[in-house]
Structure 1
Amino acid sequence: MTRHGKNCTAGAVYTYHEKKKDTAASGYGTQSIRLGKDAIKDFDCCCLSLQPCKNPVVTADGYLYEKQAILEYILHQKTDIAKKMKAYEKQKQAQKTTDQSESKSVEKEKMEKFKTSESNIVSKPINPFTSRDEQKPEGTAEVAVAGSSKALPSFWIPSLTPEAKPTLLKKPSKTVLCPMSGRPIKMSELVEVHFTLVDPGLDRVKLLSRQERYVCAVTRDALGNSVPCAVLRPSGAVVTQECVEKLIRKDMTDPVSGDKLTERDIIYLQRGGTGFAGSGVDLRAKEARPVMQA
């Protein structure tokens, strides 16, 4: 095929490539992209600060946090919950006062209605020579029409303009939730993590510049995003999942502290992806945008 044929735009078929190109340029339609390695945090980074942890702690679901960052998050959430609870109690008290005033006004209205009915017991004598329509007091129909018109809202008369009611606040939950899993989180339930350094003689600056910073506490295998690993609750040591399956599960004993283990004491660490499709992590990101419909 000649170059003119390759660059031809007069085809009758709207190709997939042209559709994706126009979608990206127009700003409409759902965009999806596969994340690369640079867009994924390392396994030893905090889920809040996205920086390598200095004093790492892990939740029961395997999410790693910097101790100071998660403590500040919990304190901030508790302060926010206290503010919401205070606003809810204020709204509740105001609603209670409003209900009491409404009940008093209803009782007063009933009393006035009773007084009016009692005072109208003695009625005027009925004239048998007049019709019922003539016996009605003057202005009854006009009053009814005026009353019905006043009940309707109007945007032009200030006294009849509809008012927006205040939004009712729901009672806030006092439970602090994990920012990643959405489950309840407590500082007392966090487990301190102790990574085994590749070289104990390296300082923090040189350590952060290395790709392989930590190794398994038992097998001395290098740890990374491509290596599934777990945290042992009694000692806080980080070992590979292969070590757990082949060595630790045989006698269920912590090889570092010597304590007996249960299934709850083995916390599988949540790790980032590697950029490859076989990493076992969903690396596709989607952005929902407006869609043009005919």
Structure 2
Amino acid sequence: MTRHARNSTAGAVYTYHEKKKDAQASGYGTNAKRLGKDSVKDFDCCSLSLQPCRNPVISKDGYLFDKEVIYQYIITKKNEYSRKLKQYEKSKKKEEEDCIKKQMEETEKKVSLFVKKEDNIVTSPLNSFKSEEEASTSISNMAEGRDKLLPSFWIPSKTPSAENTKKEKPDSTIYCPVSGKPLKSKDLIDVKFTLVKDNEKKSLITKENRYMCAVTHDILNNSVPCAVLRPTGDVVTMECVEKIIKKDWIHPLTNQKLKEKDIIVMQRGGTGYAQTNENLEGKEARPAIQA
């Protein structure tokens, strides 16, 4: 018997559509959603603040930042490293002091055992064949220098099971907040966008078409792959790079010789939910429903 409706309950088989619908309604299964334009940052926005750059700079990996924002990030990371370094040096100094204190306690214990042994003029023949620990007959917690070794049970740091965790030396390298690769302020290159020539008296942020290619004057947007020329910082399209610049490897504006490393491809990254033209679908992993 054929089914006459998609939601008919007369069928004996639990179909894929019914399973998918029930999973979506019950909160089970992976939830996927196509992200729109609002979830993707513009190509001329800072990768940290997600706002249009006033003084744009680009890293060697192709990520665009506002100079003020990325410098503030670098300074914050340097201050954090200095704080962690001070804590590391303080803990290392304390560890050395504890080691010296432990050695002094062991030496003091050996001296006290030696003095006690020498004070006994008559020794028992049975105890002469036993070790120093076995020769001790006192069961007091305060005998034979154990008063200094006995931990205070009401202090958490003094309990026998509490051990100071050894801190590792902090890493002084500053990493890019997007790519995770080492980042230095001297590697940041100033970017020069070419404004679109029009007679509209509008604010730059409100304009839909703000910048154009420095060579071909093509309008730049998220759908157009772009690159930055390292010597001057001009932004050009990848089509211009492939068809014009790579023919003779000469800068079209300054006639300067270029190399492969002088062309930095701009990463058209999105927000934390998506990457432009790479993954525009957000997924949320949820428990799977069993059929």
Distance, in Å, in 2 between the alignment partners of 1:290 and 1:10 is: 26
What's the counterpart of residue 245 of structure 2?
A: 248
What's the counterpart of residue 44 of structure 1?
A: 44
What's the counterpart of residue 217 of structure 1?
A: 214
Distance, in Å, in 2 between the alignment partners of 1:209 and 1:233 is: 29
Deviates more, 1:233-242 or 1:113-122: 113-122
What's the counterpart of residue 175 of structure 1?
A: 173
Which residues in structure 2 correspond to 1:70-219 (within 5 Å)? 70-120=70-120, 122-124=122-124, 143=139, 158=154, 163-199=161-197, 206-219=203-216
Q: Any idea what SS the aligned residue of 1:253 has?
A: coil
Distance, in Å, in 2 between the alignment partners of 1:118 and 1:34 is: 87
Q: Any idea what SS the aligned residue of 2:204 has?
A: helix
**Going by fraction, where is helix more abundant, 1 or 2?**
1
What's the counterpart of residue 146 of structure 2?
A: none
Distance, in Å, in 2 between the alignment partners of 1:143 and 1:288 is: 61
What's the counterpart of residue 68 of structure 1?
A: 68
Which one-letter code corresponds to 1:175 in the other structure?
A: T
Compared CA separation, residues 238 and 168, structure 1 to 2 (3 A): same
Unaligned runs of 5+ in 1: 127-135, 145-156, 274-278
Which residues in structure 2 correspond to 1:14-53 (within 5 Å)? 15=16, 18-19=19-20, 21-22=22-23, 25-26=26-27, 31-53=31-53
TM-superposed CA distance for 1:116, in Å, is 3.4
Unaligned runs of 5+ in 2: 127-133, 141-152, 271-275
Identity of aligned residues (%): 45
Distance, in Å, in 2 between the alignment partners of 1:177 and 1:216 is: 30
Deviations 1:179-231 (A, max 9, x none): 0111221222111111111126556x532223221111111111111111100
CA RMSD of aligned residues (A): 3.5
Distance, in Å, in 2 between the alignment partners of 1:16 and 1:100 is: 72
What's the counterpart of residue 148 of structure 2?
A: none
Q: State the TM-score, normalizing by the size of structure 2.
A: 0.77
Compared CA separation, residues 268 and 95, structure 1 to 2 (3 A): same
Q: Any idea what SS the aligned residue of 1:65 has?
A: strand
Compared CA separation, residues 21 and 87, structure 1 to 2 (3 A): farther
Distance, in Å, in 2 between the alignment partners of 1:287 and 1:20 is: 16
Q: How many residues align?
A: 265
Distance, in Å, in 1 between the alignment partners of 2:163 and 2:20 is: 47
Distance, in Å, in 2 between the alignment partners of 1:213 and 1:12 is: 57
Q: State the TM-score, normalizing by the size of structure 1.
A: 0.76
